C-alpha cells in the first residue's frame, strides 16, 4: 500500500509557494503523516566584484548570517501557522547550498514519501534563463513529486 507519512513541502518563502500547502496537507492527513517544510538557502560567502582590471573579494558573511537568520525565522513562522491550521506536525527545515541537489539529497536521507512544490509557471526566455527548480526536482527525485501551478 502506498502511504504518505513523510511529505516534503518545498517553499521559497513566497506567497506563490503557499499554493502547494493544501495538497501537502491532504496527502499527509490521509495517512496520519507529517510535513517537512523545506527551504534552501543558497549560501555564497564570498563574491568577487570586478573593478577595472583588479577584482576584489567582498566578505558577505555578516550579510548572509543576517539573511539566514531572517529566513529561519520566516520558515519557523510558516511552519507554525501551517501546523495550527492543519492540525498536523509541521517541521521547518532550512538547508544551505544548491536547491535541487539539497532537496534531492534530503529527500533520500529522510526517505520522503512525496515532495509537493508550487511552480512559478515561467515560460519562454524566463524559463530558459532561470530554469525550474521544480522541473529538475521532478527529474531527479527519489519519490513522487506533485507540482502545483498556482491559479
pLDDT per residue as tens digits for the range 98-142:
899 999 999 999 999 999 999 875 555 444 434 588 889 999 999
In a domain, 1, yes or no: no
**63 found inside a domain:** yes
Write out the residue range of the structural domain in which residue 103 sits: 6-148
Question: How crowded is residue 61: how many other Cβ atoms within 10 Å of its Cβ?
Answer: 11
> What is the C-alpha to C-alpha distance for residues 83 and 88, in angstroms, rounded to an integer?
5
Strand residues in the chain grouped as ranges (E): 6-10, 34-41, 46-51, 54-59, 89-96, 114-118, 145-148
Tell me, yes or no, whether 21 lies in a domain: yes
Strand-by-strand arrangement of the 89-96 sheet:
89-96, 34-41, 6-10, 114-118, 145-148
Domain count across the chain: 1
Q: Stretch 31-35: mean pLDDT, rounded?
A: 95
Q: What is the CATH number of the domain that holds 93?
A: 3.40.50.620
Residue 102 included in any domain: yes
Q: What is the pTM of this model?
A: 0.81
When pLDDT is cut at 50, 70 and 90, the band that residue 80 belongs to is very high
- With respect to residue 114, please indicate whether it lies within any of the assigned structural domains: yes
97 located within any domain: yes
Residue 33: other Cβ atoms inside 10 A? 19
- pLDDT for 41: 85
Averaged pLDDT score across all residues of the chain: 83
Greatest mean pLDDT among 38-47, 55-64, 130-139, 142-151 lies in: 142-151
Query: Furthest-apart CA pair in the chain: how many Å?
Result: 63
Tens digit of pLDDT for each residue in 87-109? 999 999 999 988 999 999 999 99
Query: Dihedral sign, CA of 23, 19, 35, 40?
Result: positive
Amino acid at each position: 500500500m502506498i502511504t504518505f507519512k513523510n511529505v516534503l513541502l518545498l517553499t521559497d518563502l513566497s506567497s506563490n509557494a503557499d499554493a502547494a500547502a493544501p495538497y501537502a496537507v491532504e496527502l499527509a492527513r490521509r495517512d496520519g503523516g507529517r510535513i517537512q517544510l523545506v527551504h534552501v538557502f543558497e549560501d555564497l560567502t564570498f563574491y568577487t566584484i570586478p573593478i577595472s582590471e583588479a577584482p576584489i573579494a567582498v566578505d558577505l558573511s555578516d550579510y548572509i548570517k543576517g539573511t539566514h537568520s531572517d529566513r529561519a525565522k520566516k520558515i519557523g513562522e510558516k511552519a507554525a501557522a501551517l501546523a495550527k491550521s492543519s492540525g498536523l506536525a509541521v517541521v521547518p527545515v532550512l538547508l544551505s547550498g544548491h536547491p535541487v541537489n539539497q532537496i534531492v539529497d534530503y529527500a533520500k536521507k529522510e526517505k520522503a514519501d512525496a515532495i509537493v512544490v508550487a511552480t512559478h509557471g515561467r515560460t519562454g526566455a524566463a524559463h530558459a534563463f532561470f530554469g525550474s527548480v521544480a522541473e529538475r526536482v521532478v527529474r531527479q527525485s527519489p519519490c513522487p513529486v506533485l507540482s502545483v501551478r498556482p491559479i
